[in-house]
Structure 1
Amino acid sequence: MTSTINVNLPQQSYEIAIAPASLDQLGQSLANLKLGQKVVLVSNPVIFKHYGERAIASLKSAGFNVVSYCLPAGERYKTLNSIQKLYDVALENRLERSSTMVALGGGVIGDMTGFAAATWLRGINVVQVPTTLLAMVDSAIGGKTGVNHPNGKNLIGAFHQPRLVLIDPEVLKTLPVREFRAGMAEVIKYGVIWDAELFTQMEASKHLNQLRYMKPELLSEILTRSCQAKADVVGKDEKEGGLRAILNYGHTIGHAIESLTGYRLVNHGEAVAIGMVAAGQIAVNLGMWQQAETDRQNAIIQKAGLPTKLPAGVDIAAIIDALQLDKKVKAGKVRFVLPTQVGVVTVTDQVPADVIQQVLQGMQWMS
């Protein structure tokens, strides 16, 4: 399972390197890019315990001066306060424009490290070393960085492309089952929006909900095809001017649910799964997609161990209100990514509020 995928961009192209044991080659990979000598490795205590020392040893063996800093684990710590701590580390260690921040962790660590790197000295190098499936196939790629505002997810951020994305599939062995399933939500998303063959492979697989039951060949396909899909879309639309908006499939309602539950009750992948179920049914109700197709999608979501109903106690009116805070709102209209066939979606702002309400009511838990 070794592959290299190029993210081709006008300003700064880079590689996604997928290889077992590549964590031990981190230092050499940075040396090959001829980056400056100062490196700040950012992680969280859980990930650092598993992989921090290996990453530091690799960097030091390649001649880098390395300091590490751990931020607390969890979406609720994805705040400007955490970024301030990274700025303090950067200042204390006198990082220069040639210096590098390395994000060793999941999507939260990747987003925060990327944002700190984007804004320190108006932009220094960042290298993404994702340790969760979700980060490997999605958040580590494409240069989206940022933190949450108390009233909305990722409202504060910047586009800042990494110099390298280094994916070591072996680190997934220590990933909790719930986090693996969260990553599968983004994989399913790629199947619906871009890659019908990936969708069919997941449909045919017996096991999607745990890594230990998944065939190595399928994991390889999931990583390479998902990363290729993200690279293709980002290469065509770096800053979400058009096509890249399709990567938000399931995220419109998903982000609202995350925000309303304080980033504690459901994780990002679970929220996206619920959002995809909603988007699929909205498309059916608007006559854009067949019920049989959304049933196929929902069957894969369930097979991956992901939720298909709204969290208990979440108010539908509050979800609809929260949609107005979504980053994709334009001229007061909420834009939805909706499927028209497996592998093809469209973006529309013509979704009546009563259709959204009707679909969400059908997704409530029965008491």
Structure 2
Amino acid sequence: MTRVDIADAKRIVVKIGSSALTSLVGGLDLGRLDLLAEAVELRMRAGTDVIVVSSGAIGAGIAPLGLTKRPRDLATKQAAASVGQLALAHAWGTSFARFGRTVGQVLLTAEDIARRTNHRNAQRTLDRLRSLGAVAVVNENDTVATAEIRFGDNDRLAALVAHLAGADALVLLSDVDGLYDGDPRKGHATLIREVDSPEDLDGVVAGSGGALGTGGMASKLSAARLAADAGVPVLLASAQDAAAALTTARVGTAFAARPTRLSSRKFWVRHAADVQGDLHLDAGAVRAVVERRRSLLSAGITGVTGRFYGGDVVALRDPEGAVIARGVVAYDASELIGTIGRSKAELSPELQRPVVHADDLVSVHS
């Protein structure tokens, strides 16, 4: 059923990894890019809206700059990205121009997703490009992103964009043909074709990225779970199987979506927003928040850490320090200090509202 949902999806995000587009020796592989553009175009002609999340900016800039390997320092990465982004955007534009299709480049940083206003602006841009019949090609803005604010890999970016754009499916294309229960390069590994629940991943060992990318199976698995948690089914497949992945979806590994889709606001709170501080709860407050889905009141708070303001997202921690939920806090940290552990009757009227309202609270396990 998951593969049928992906094959029939009317709006999809297709993420293409660096290894599918670039090489250390020659930079961008235009032949492979053309084949991928053709597969996307065929899907669009069939009536599907497609957003492309394209890696490869840094990889595309390595060869032109005379580098022999992916840089490790931030300044050289940003320099390579500044060269590669131009080449990558031009290549996608030229390739889709064969079909009379216009390409719009959308460069995002983690801050664009974490900040609610930027989040909505990015959403509107993607929607408008789609309504005008253009192909949105999204990439992380590596020329300005730093280690502190970057997504970490374009797999996570693709999962966030899938929810941002209200996609019906996410297709992750790279140099691997699916999820294995071990390292297929070492032999004796079995392809996992369907992931219907977290239990299907018990015992799975995922590795890190290769020479050209920052992802790897670990990041793809994390992104697939993130998207599936948001109600978006995911297909993980090889870029060489792009034509099949974007038609029948009978290749690779399919990840089933959770039964109910999180609202845009709750998804943002759980996965996209930056956490600005912590609220430490007693056992009673944990039960109220997690089991009964109640609002958090001052009486159940035992401690406050961090500098945050009303409207920021904070983490809620149990007595052992484990994060059990995230939510939008109603007060500044300085206001909360004097209310810790006090009942509603003990507070002045302006401080009697819930600290985190149930509508703005998301359990990390639900």
Shorter-chain TM range is 0.3 to 0.5
TM-score, length basis structure 1: 0.39
Q: Which has the larger radius of gyration?
A: 2
The structure with the greater share of residues assigned to helix is: 1
